[in-house]
Amino acid sequence: MRVTQQDIARISEVSQATVSRVLAGDERVDGQIRDRVLAVMNTHNYRPDVRARSLRQRKTHLIGLVIKREVGSLQDDPFFAMLIAEVVDALAGSPWHLCLDIAADTARQHSIYDELLRTRRVDGLILVESEASDERILRLQQDHFPFVLIGNAAEMPELHAIDNDNFRTAEIATSHLLEQGYGRIAFLAGPQTLTVTRDREAGYRNVVPEAMVAYTEFGAHSAREAAAQLLDEYQPDAILAMDDTMAMGVIQAARERKLAIPQDLGVVGFNDTPLCDHVEGGLTSVNLQIGNMVQWAIRRLVDVIDDTSVLGGRQAIMGCELMVRGSSVRGKL
């Protein structure tokens, strides 16, 4: 049978209220009594019931992470594993826990919204890859539900959000390829509807002499097909891919065509995932400092949950670092 504050109180010969105060570290409780209660708690191995606490404090200490992708893509793209790992890491040792949900289809997204928020299962939400136009965001806003975006929200400055400067990162990656002597650089973009895609494309176009762009879905498979088309149509000597997984697709397409990397084709990805090490010579990739972004997001989210008054700016831009590896360097590394 479970031991409650009531039990501790009875044994310690104090009231339940006092036990609660001791637990909270209330200064006003007499030292001797505190010690006695603490001792009893210890010997009886008492732990507060988080369900009761949640109800009373109106706080579950759960943070929801909702990933808007096919469940299967979690395995394909280590980016999401990185993301989850960083969240778990940032939450470790804190009183907060992670509630995870993944779904791409709208219906399921809505039911997640219902389940997680309306029923007050979680205290706040971290949203990834959401577009500002997303209807869910409006609902969250009008419900005054605490949430933080990882991703662009420049057009909605009232939201809490952190992102990279996608224009800049694309510029940096493209410039690097130019400096390495690649002249015909193509951009293998993600879905055209996404802000990330458009921002990166703009950065790319700003640097490149002649633009060659293909839009496609995320994932290695569709990237491979799109890359094949790019290669056949434009004969580029380098491809900048939207992420490492898509870069792997590019490499597969190059392999089919007997194109050597980096001699015949330079390749650069995004996210700096462990995939980079599985490419011979290494895959050059833009490290977006997802760890720092997650830490910022969680710190901010917890602040918002604890107190709706906001300290500091609502949005932040994270720096990035180009990790140069073999796939984009023709000479000696």
Between 89 and 210, name the residue whose CB sits nearer to a second copy: 89
Query: Would you count residue 144 as binding a second copy (CB under 8 A)?
Result: no
Q: Taking CB under 8 A as the rule, which mask of x and - marks residues 221-260 in contact with a second copy?
A: ---------------------------x---x--x-----
Task: Give 3-state DSSP helix, strand, coil % of the chain, rounded to 5.
Answer: 45, 15, 35
* Contact string (CB under 7 A) for DNA, positions 2-41, x = contact: x-xxx------xxxxxx-xx-xx---xxx--x--------
Number of H helices, E strands in the chain: 13, 12
Residue from 23, 33, 38, 99 in contact with a second copy (CB under 8 A): 99
Residue 233 binds DNA, judged by CB under 7 A: no
Nearer to a second copy, 119 or 309 (CB): 119
Strand spans (E) along the chain: 62-67, 97-102, 124-128, 147-150, 161-164, 185-189, 212-215, 238-241, 266-270, 284-287, 315-318, 321-323
Positive or negative, the CA dihedral 242, 244, 250, 253 is negative
| Interface with a second copy in residues 290-329 (CB under 8 A) | none
| Binding-site size, DNA (CB under 7 A) | 27
Q: Which x/- pattern over 58-97 shows residues binding DNA (rule: CB under 7 A)? A: x---------------------------------------
The SS3 call for residue 155 is coil
Closest CA to 290 of 168, 163, 169: 163
Residue 332 binding DNA, by CB under 7 A: no
The correct pick among 48, 156, 175, 264 for binding a second copy (CB under 8 A) is 48
Is 274 a residue that touches a second copy (CB under 8 A)? yes
The type of residue at 331 is: G
DSSP H or E segment with residue 135: helix 135-142
- Contacts of residue 297, Cβ cutoff 8 Å, sequence gap at least 6: 126, 148, 149, 150, 160, 162
Query: Which two three-digit tokens encode residue 205?
Result: 């176009």
| Interface segment toward a second copy; rule CB under 8 A; list 28-36, 106-114, 180-188, 299-307 | 106-114
Q: How far is CA 77 from the centre of its chain?
A: 12
Contact partner at residue 332 from a second copy, DNA, none, CB < 5 to 8 Å by partner kind: none
- Cβ burial of 73 (10 Å; 0-12, 13-18, 19+) is middle
Alpha-carbon span 157 to 303, nearest angstrom:
18
60's contact among DNA, a second copy, none, with CB below 5 to 8 A by partner kind, is a second copy
Compute the chain's Rg from CA coordinates.
Answer: 25
Which of 35, 43, 44, 55: binder of DNA (CB under 7 A)?
55
Q: Which residues bind to DNA, rule: CB under 7 A? A: 2, 4-6, 13-18, 20-21, 23-24, 28-30, 33, 48-49, 51-53, 55-58
Q: Which residues bind to a second copy, rule: CB under 8 A? A: 2, 45, 47-52, 54-55, 58, 60, 62, 71-72, 74-76, 78, 80-82, 84-85, 88-89, 92-93, 97-103, 108, 111, 114-116, 118-121, 220, 248, 252, 255, 273-275, 277-280
